[in-house]
Amino acid sequence: VRCWIADRLARRSLQHPAHCPLCDQAPETMHHLLLACQFARQIWHETLSWLRVPFPPPAHEPSLNDWWQSTR
């Protein structure tokens, strides 16, 4: 499954929004949508607080995937 976000659409010269449609602050990239967007961070915070999982991932975790695997 591929997520057709703005940076992928731009590489293929397809029409895309200039900025993230949620925050209008930064280009829409996968990293931005999942981790950097203020709205995504709020959702992560609310969801993970409910599950009692710390967010953001600790600095010693080398990647988001490693953090997720160790948290599970």
How confident is the model over 54-69, as pLDDT tens digits?
Answer: 766 666 666 777 777 7
Q: What is the pTM of this model?
A: 0.61
What average pLDDT does the segment 30-53 reach?
Answer: 86
* Euclidean distance between CA atoms 27 and 37, whole angstroms: 10
* Euclidean distance between CA atoms 62 and 69, whole angstroms: 11
The beta-strand segments (E) located in 1-72 are none
DSSP label at residue 23 = T
